[in-house]
């Protein structure tokens, strides 16, 4: 014993200061790895992606889903649209009413098919944020009639399979809202009764509280396959571990996709398992493909918010993802020999139980890896030397592939997902000198690739002159390009009773207030254009369908969207079926600038034109254009114009503010 101590002291004096970490499968395996994913929805976060032209749209999809290319995601989670605002917009329901179903609305079906096209093994998850009003039968609670809600959700799963040949692997309950044990059991029974026994239930997509309830309620415990939690800060609770269920961070990250966001993502991908034994982490959101000035602009693994230019950005979180996803697959197992590094950072090791080994190491510092939530306790990370001793099935390995990233906050010259020289293993061990803010993948897998395409087109703003007449016989998507619904749902509509200039329209179709998730406005609205515009002309033809109480507005400089849409300010020009008009400064119609008689009524087409010009040096800015409904949303409106339905033009030197109407000028 004394001889061994003396040798150790001598070796340290000679400069050996490496910490030792054992990688060994002889002590058994840890939990099964379930994959890394991204979330489209919650809401409308992929809205602009569908409007990219080829080849750029396919290139973006490759960076997200193509194996051994970019993020190479294992899981795609999507919102089951509920006709209501769910963060950055509304996504349409497959059943606006109980008497109809349409499985071609929105773009989530398309996105799931594109993901499957690239990776047939990708897992698919659906989760509701909001529900059409009929599901709650006049309430704001979807659990009063659990059979109705379960049938509605199962119909979505049916539509995915019957109309798109998509097998949904998991289904959720109600995003970040209180769960109901009775509903979960009814949903499980409903799934089983129609043959969807392989569709697992994730609950409750909020906090950990359902775990304790599952321990007390065997029926609830049997119904739930995965405990999904949001933004856990890499920590779990004892009750969740005692259930012996799969534990997932079913929504995480939600951080701007700069290098700090990349540091956040790299840290939690490892530490969600090391600290919390969570076997899947899903990023909100998948891709920042919505107008940047909406809620959480730029949160996504990459950015694609300019379909009119074709410009997109492959951000550093894509390559942090690749360090794990390109060298593991769902069905691999974590080893029990995982943990935190002695001088900060963490390491995980996974195996396919067929001889392959992947080790992922991260050394993210506190200030360079903070996620948007929860608050990150202080910790220290410093440069260190680490020796990894391979034992058990891995003792025979002699060399390993290495991929390396460095987020360099001093020089701003990052190294992202670079293939390095193979690591030589001597007597079962290898040593690495680890600096701060680095990620290493050490692996037997040799198929990794840093995919690339030629540079996409340069960024350019929304065109200053834009028009759309909606004349599309078979639109590929239900939404018109670039329109981003914020309350209500605007869809292409073919008016079969009109053979003239108003045959093709955009129609607002939500006629009953949904079971909401966010604070939707009382008036429906869709936005389009450039947030930086202050002076502009907008022209739109409108038809009010509801007598007396019906109405419509045209707006400019709309300064709010997303979850804050209810507080939107701007210039709102309203006409009503009762023959009046008004101009207000707010979407609620309370701050009246002008009002009077217009002679307008339902069933007649009017062309509204709104010109807004600045009188001050620093004008209020906002989204270029909004269209929406008037006094309440229990109505439909249609929009069209003989030649160009929507005309947007930005002008810098106009000298007046005016509102015009085709039939009778209100001002």
Between CA 3 and CA 13, with CA 8 as vertex, the angle to 5 degrees is: 125
Cα atoms found within 13 Å of the Cα of residue 223, Cβ hemisphere only: 26
Task: Please check whether the domain covering 484-648 is classified as CATH 1.10.8.60.
Answer: no
* Cβ proximity of 122 and 135 under 8 Å: no
Q: What is the 3-state secondary structure (H, E, C) of 398-420?
A: CEEEEEEEECCCCCCCCEEEEEE
Residues forming a β-bridge with 19: 386
pTM listed for this prediction:
0.92
User: 544 vs 115, 143, 228, 556, 577, CA distance in Å?
Assistant: 40, 34, 44, 20, 7
Better-predicted residue by pLDDT, 14 or 658: 14
Top-confidence residue, 275 or 618: 275
Q: Which tokens belong to 189?
A: 């029974």
Q: At residue 631, does pLDDT exceed 50?
A: no
Quick one: pLDDT at residue 498?
86
Residue predicted with more confidence, 649 or 462: 462
- Please tell me whether the peptide bond between 55 and the residue prior to it is cis, using omega within 30 degrees of 0: yes
**CA proximity to 558, closest of 651, 482, 628:** 628
State yes or no: cis peptide before 375, omega within 30 of 0: no
8 A C-beta contact, residue 346 and residue 362: yes
Could you tell me if 116 and 108 are in contact, meaning their C-beta atoms sit under 8 angstroms apart? no
Q: Name the pLDDT band for 264 (thresholds 50, 70, 90).
A: very high
For range 93-117, the mean pLDDT: 97
pLDDT reading at 621 higher than 70:
no
**Which residue has better confidence, 666 or 538?**
538
Tokens representing 365?
Answer: 């510092």
CA 430 to chain centroid: 39
Q: Tokens at residue 654, please? A: 């106009």
170 near 125, Cβ under 8 Å? yes
Q: Report pLDDT digits (tens) over 523-535.
A: 999 999 998 888 8
Number of neighbours of residue 547 by Cβ within 10 angstroms:
12
Task: Please tell me the distance from the alpha carbon of residue 468 to that of residue 538, in angstroms, as a whole number.
Answer: 12
Q: How far apart are CA 615 and CA 654, in angstroms?
A: 10
H runs (alpha helix) in 374-499: none
Q: What confidence tens digit (pLDDT) does each residue in 581-616 have?
A: 999 999 999 999 999 999 999 999 999 999 998 765
pLDDT at position 500: 84
CATH fold for domain 35-257+264-305: TIM Barrel (3.20.20)
Provide, rounded to the nearest whole percent, the portion of the chain with pLDDT above 70: 90
Arithmetic mean of pLDDT, 308-329: 98
Mean pLDDT rounded to a whole number for the chain? 91
**Residue 415, strand partner residues:** 406
With a cut of 90, say whether residue 623 has pLDDT above it: no
Burial letters 72-91, b for 16+ CB under 10 A, else e: bbbbbbbbbbbbbbbbbbbb
CB 143 within 8 A of CB 86: no
Active-site positions read 176, 251
**8 compared with 223, residue with greater pLDDT:** 223
- Tens-digit pLDDT profile for residues 156-178: 999 999 999 999 999 999 999 99
Give CA–CA dist 625/610, Å, rounded: 10
pLDDT of 499 reads: 83
Using the predicted structure, report yes or no on whether residue 331 has a pLDDT greater than 90.
Answer: yes
Residue 23: C-alpha distances to residues 28, 29, 32, 274, 359 (Å): 11, 11, 17, 14, 9
Which secondary-structure segment (H or E) carries 421?
A: strand 415-424
Cα–Cα distance between 88 and 295 in angstroms, integer? 6
d(CA 363, CA 373): 20
The residue-averaged pLDDT of 448-464 equals 97
Ranges of each domain in the chain? 35-257+264-305, 484-648
- C-beta separation of 312 from 327 below 8 A: no
pLDDT band at 497 (very low <50, low <70, confident <90, very high): confident
Which phi and psi angles does 465 have, rounded to 5°? -125, 120
Percent of the chain with pLDDT over 90: 87
């Amino acid at each position: 014993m004394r001889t061994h101590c003396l040798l150790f002291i001598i070796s340290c004096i000679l400069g050996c200061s490496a910490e030792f970490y054992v990688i060994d499968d002889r002590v058994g395996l840890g939990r099964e790895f379930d994959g890394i994913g991204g979330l489209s929805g919650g809401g409308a976060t992929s809205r602009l992606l569908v409007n990219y032209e080829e080849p750029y749209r396919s290139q973006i999809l490759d960076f997200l889903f193509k194996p051994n290319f970019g993020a190479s995601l294992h899981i795609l989670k999507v919102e089951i649209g509920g006709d209501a605002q769910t963060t950055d917009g509304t996504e349409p329901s497959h059943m606006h009413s109980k008497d109809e179903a349409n499985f071609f609305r929105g773009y989530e079906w398309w996105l799931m098919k594109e993901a499957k096209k690239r990776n047939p093994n990708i897992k698919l998850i659906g989760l509701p944020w909001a529900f059409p009003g009929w599901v709650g039968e006049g309430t704001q609670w979807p659990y009063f009639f659990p059979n109705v809600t379960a049938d509605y959700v199962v119909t979505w799963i049916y539509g995915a399979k019957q109309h798109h040949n998509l097998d949904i692997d998991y289904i959720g309950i109600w995003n970040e809202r209180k769960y109901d044990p009775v509903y979960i059991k009814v949903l499980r029974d409903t799934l089983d009764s129609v043959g969807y026994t392989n569709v697992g239930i994730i609950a409750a997509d909020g906090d950990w509280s359902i775990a304790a309830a599952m321990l007390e309620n065997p029926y609830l415990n049997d119904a739930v396959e995965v405990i999904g939690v949001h933004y856990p800060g890499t920590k779990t609770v004892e009750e969740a571990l005692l259930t012996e269920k799969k534990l997932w961070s079913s929504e995480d990250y939600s951080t701007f996709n700069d290098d700090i966001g990349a540091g956040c993502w790299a840290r939690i991908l490892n530490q969600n398992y090391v600290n919390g034994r969570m076997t899947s982490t899903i990023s909100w959101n998948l891709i920042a493909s919505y107008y940047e000035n909406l809620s959480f602009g730029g949160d996504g693994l990459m950015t694609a918010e300019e379909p009119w230019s074709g410009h997109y950005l492959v951000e550093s979180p894509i390559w942090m993802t690749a360090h794990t996803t390109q060298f593991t697959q769902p069905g691999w197992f974590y080893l029990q020999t995982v943990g935190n590094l002695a001088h900060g950072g963490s390491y995980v090791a996974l195996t396919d139980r067929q001889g392959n080994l992947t080790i992922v190491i991260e050394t993210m510092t506190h200030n360079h890896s903070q996620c948007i939530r929860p608050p990150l306790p202080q910790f220290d990370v410093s440069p260190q030397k680490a020796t990894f001793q391979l034992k058990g099935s891995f003792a025979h390995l002699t060399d390993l592939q290495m991929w390396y990233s460095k987020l360099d906050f001093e020089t701003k010259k990052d190294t992202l997902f670079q293939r390095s020289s193979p690591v030589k293993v001597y007597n079962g061990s290898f040593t690495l000198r680890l600096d701060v803010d680095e990620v290493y993948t050490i692996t037997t897998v040799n198929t990794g690739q840093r995919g690339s395409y030629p540079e996409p087109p340069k960024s350019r703003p929304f065109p200053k002159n834009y028009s759309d007449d909606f004349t599309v016989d078979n639109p590929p998507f239900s939404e018109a390009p670039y329109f981003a619904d914020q309350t209500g749902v605007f869809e292409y509509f073919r008016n079969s009773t009109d053979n003239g200039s108003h045959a093709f329209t955009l129609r607002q179709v939500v006629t009953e207030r949904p079971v909401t998730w966010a604070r939707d406005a009382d008036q429906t609205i869709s936005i389009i254009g450039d947030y930086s515009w202050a002076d502009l002309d907008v022209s739109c033809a409108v038809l009010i369908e509801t007598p007396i109480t019906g109405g419509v507005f045209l707006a400019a400089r709309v300064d709010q969207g997303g979850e804050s849409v209810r507080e939107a300010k701007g210039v709102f020009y309203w006409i009503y079926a009762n023959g009046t008009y008004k101009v207000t400064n707010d979407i609620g119609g309370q701050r009246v600038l002008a009002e009077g008689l217009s002679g307008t009524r339902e069933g007649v087409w009017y062309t509204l034109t709104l010109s807004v010009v600045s009188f001050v040096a620093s004008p209020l800015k906002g989204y270029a254009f909004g269209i929406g409904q008037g006094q309440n949303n229990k109505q439909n409106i249609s929009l069209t114009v003989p030649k160009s339905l929507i005309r947007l033009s930005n002008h810098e030197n106009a000298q007046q503010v005016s509102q015009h109407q085709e039939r009778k000028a209100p001002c």
